[in-house]
Structure 1
Amino acid sequence: MDVEKRPKHLAQLQALAAIGQCRLMSLWDSLFTHLRQPIAQILLTRNDIADRTRYFNAQNTFHALLEQGVIPIVNENDTLAVSEIKFGDNDTLSAITAAMIHADMLFLMTDVDCLYDKNPRTNPDAKPIEVVEDIAALQADVSSAGSSLGTGGMSTKIIAARLGTSAGVTTVITRSSNPGNVLNIVQYLQSIQKGNTPPSPDERAEGLSRSASALTLSNLNGAPWPPLHTRFIPANDPIRDRHFWLLHTPHPHGTLYIDSGAYKALVGKAGLLPVGVIDVEGNFAQQEVVRLVAVKRRSTPGPDGKMWEGTPEEVGRALVNYAAAEIARIKGKQSVEIEKILGYADSEYVAHRQHVGFFKRDSRPVSPAREINGAVME
């Protein structure tokens, strides 16, 4: 295209992305044709799955393709996406896709073999981290060891691993320059899951020879067994489909501050009543997703005019039955008063319990404005 420098204007960047997507898919199609493997292209933006109906439509499309033996190649739709609706990185996109299709495994490829307890570039004695059961503890350990999670985009892979494992997906970080490692690691993990002794290098080379390419087999020679990688253990109580959508795909449009009584009631499977709402922030409509922040209620307004005190703690998300302006009028009131105040009553609940999701304690944000990536439904 005779473009010497990266364009500065969004329209020019997106035009080049449209050109590049055609060429990239042409290359993918050529490669897979040699294997007689049909493929399909799916381009997504966050807006495509922020809507519940479109989310499940995308999920159904994935399932239909896989049932027909078609491999979907997924990418962000850079020709349409702007900063407000971008996933931001392919790691997050891959984790959301893996959760959407109920994948068994998610591989996050990078420029290092695995995670280390120290930065291997500056610490020769750094040791590989083979298995991670607690991502929150991993982040603390790695930070205290002086490693930089931001190097090489590793922080986004940790976030993606949190997303994947919360949905029950075994997530693996390994080196991208050794593509044969993917097959080797899958075989190794399958052996572990079956309680069998992992095969020797000679046995696995023989087993793969019928289907693996020459490139894959060449990577087996002299390779460590098992290949270096970090495996993130999936949650025992994974979140699925509607609950995963609620917690991870829509951008929250506002915040509801709820008291401890309302929080306990929600944990006890009750819905969110207006009497438990202390304050409202944002300008949102009915059936939009908002943050739920637990605070301690004051008997009288404080110096700042607020009816709550203490450090706000985001505990989950909710799909609300009333708009922000309506909730502001009925907050702290009994449900029987809703019709008198608003002139109508669509529901006795601000949010039904099935439309409320809670984050795990070790993955809550430090402030209501921060994005959350690890969650569980009560």
Structure 2
Amino acid sequence: MTHTVVIKLGTSSILDEERYQPKIGTLAAIVETAARLKSDGHRVVLVSSGAIGVGRMHTGKKGAVTKVAERQALAAMGQVRLSSMWDSLFATVGLATAQVLLTRGDLADSNRYYHARETLNALMSDSFDAIPIVNENDTVSPSEGRFGDNDTLSAITAGLVGADFLFICTDVDGLYTDNPRANPDARRLGVVHGVDDARRAASVTSMGSSLGTGGMKTKLVAAELATAAGIATVILRSDAPQHIVTIVNRGIPDVPEQPATVDAIGYPPLEPPHTLFLPKSERVPDHKWTILHALHPAGNLIIDEGAYERISKKESGGRLLPAGVIGVEGVFERLQAVRLLVKKGDDTFETRYTLRTRSR
């Protein structure tokens, strides 16, 4: 069976934080893993952080960089070198690569979202047979319009291409009940049925890295987004990517539902070492998932409670009549996402929905 596999690598998996040099062994292992997946008939997308880190490596800037313009300049210098590095490594195994830089703005607009999806699918088709390498376009993304971390970007990319698996590669081999570096009794979770269960059972603190922007919290957010779209999500060590082939070819295990108690969640641990978040059995439909997680609301519609009650009923078809709208904030066009705010009796507002305006 052919699967679409998204592999996400953070900056700390790509660069040594002390020497600011590429981890060539890890990068080569990722390339070999992708080549093996391709030879087994699977489609592969790589989500790679590291542009700013590579830019710092090239310029020798090791201190904190706080100015937005300087970070964007480092991203501009680093991205071309990061892309060249990946292309050279993949060329050694006869695989072509393609650079795909995305911003929230690209995915907030339904037309651009559609073209991004079509481009990625074309790159993975037999006509091109390439491995798309996705990163956020840090050079042009303002701080308020950024994904914030590539864990979220990887989940949205996985939803964009209809992936079967999302692998989030990090410096630990899964999600633990406590920080394994500080507590030797910490236990690694195995199969997890729900992200909420994982949050109750696990620790999301980690020592982190001076290079990366994410953490275990962002990985849980990514798992929540991806599993809602029907995508199995795996956390595993970036220096053992060969396990990805084993996990993909083995498929998603058929495990019984576990009682939602802390002691029962995610046990026993899996081999090879990793944590697997099972996809939701009732996945959110593609168009609803896109509106909820990919499109960025361009404005607000303020409605009264009566209108909210009406559109909440299935027979309403989600149609909002003008009579129920008591205020509009922002400027938006057809097919853009808007946020619904319900005005309460005490003049407070409560966010209830994000929806997309109709084409006509």
Q: Structure 2-normalised TM-score?
A: 0.69
Q: Which residue matches 1:89? A: 149
Q: Which residue matches 1:358? A: none
Cα deviation, 1:228-285, whole Å, max 9, x if unaligned, reads 11111112232354322211123322253442663354341411223444x5463333
Does 2:352 align with 1:290?
Answer: no
CA contact (8 A) 1:263 1:294 kept: no
Q: CA deviation at 1:2?
A: 4.8
Give the 5 Å matches for 1:269-348.
269-270=315-316, 271-277=319-325, 279-280=326-327, 282-287=329-334, 288-294=336-342, 298=345, 302=346, 306=347, 313-320=350-357
Q: Which residue matches 1:206? A: none
Structure 2, gaps ≥5 residues long: 1-57, 209-214, 256-268
In 2, the alpha carbon distance for the partners of 1:20 and 1:39 equals 17
Cα deviation, 1:334-372, whole Å, max 9, x if unaligned, reads xxxxxxxxxxxx98xxxxxxxxxxxxxxxxxxxxxxxxx
Letter in 1 for 2:356: L
CA contact (8 A) 2:229 2:283 kept: yes
Give the 5 Å matches for 1:175-190.
175-189=237-251
In 2, the alpha carbon distance for the partners of 1:4 and 1:129 equals 38
In 2, the alpha carbon distance for the partners of 1:47 and 1:179 equals 32
Q: Which residue matches 2:309? A: 263
Does 2:92 align with 1:34?
Answer: yes
In 2, the alpha carbon distance for the partners of 1:24 and 1:72 equals 13
In 2, the alpha carbon distance for the partners of 1:10 and 1:119 equals 32
Which of 252, 273, 289 aligns to 1:228? It is 273
Q: CA deviation at 1:14?
A: 2.0
CA contact (8 A) 1:254 1:289 kept: no
- Identity in percent: 41
Does 2:160 align with 1:100?
Answer: yes
2:312 match: secondary structure: helix
CA contact (8 A) 1:172 1:230 kept: yes
Q: CA deviation at 1:19?
A: 1.9
Q: Which residue matches 1:244? A: 289
RMSD: 2.8
Q: Which residue matches 1:168? A: 230
In 2, the alpha carbon distance for the partners of 1:62 and 1:283 equals 31
In 2, the alpha carbon distance for the partners of 1:151 and 1:5 equals 19
Does 2:157 align with 1:62?
Answer: no
Q: Which residue matches 2:35? A: none
Q: CA deviation at 1:317?
A: 0.7
CA contact (8 A) 2:99 2:132 kept: yes
Q: CA deviation at 1:4?
A: 3.9
In 1, the alpha carbon distance for the partners of 2:183 and 2:61 equals 39
In 1, the alpha carbon distance for the partners of 2:144 and 2:178 equals 35
Letter in 2 for 1:89: D
Structure 1, gaps ≥5 residues long: 195-223, 322-345, 348-378
Q: CA deviation at 1:160?
A: 0.4
Identify which of structures 1 and 2 has the higher relative contact order when contacts are C-alpha pairs closer than 8 Å and 6+ apart.
2
Q: Which residue matches 1:73? A: 133
1:115 match: secondary structure: coil
Larger radius of gyration: 1
Q: CA deviation at 1:50?
A: 0.8
CA contact (8 A) 2:191 2:270 kept: no
In 1, the alpha carbon distance for the partners of 2:181 and 2:289 equals 37
Q: CA deviation at 1:134?
A: 1.8
Q: CA deviation at 1:119?
A: 3.2
Which of 99, 103, 119 aligns to 2:179? It is 119
Cα deviation, 1:60-110, whole Å, max 9, x if unaligned, reads 001111113211000111111110211111101111000000011000111
Q: Structure 1-normalised TM-score?
A: 0.66
2:183 match: secondary structure: coil
The count of corresponding residues between Structure 1 and Structure 2 is: 277
In 2, the alpha carbon distance for the partners of 1:267 and 1:130 equals 39
In 1, the alpha carbon distance for the partners of 2:207 and 2:350 equals 29
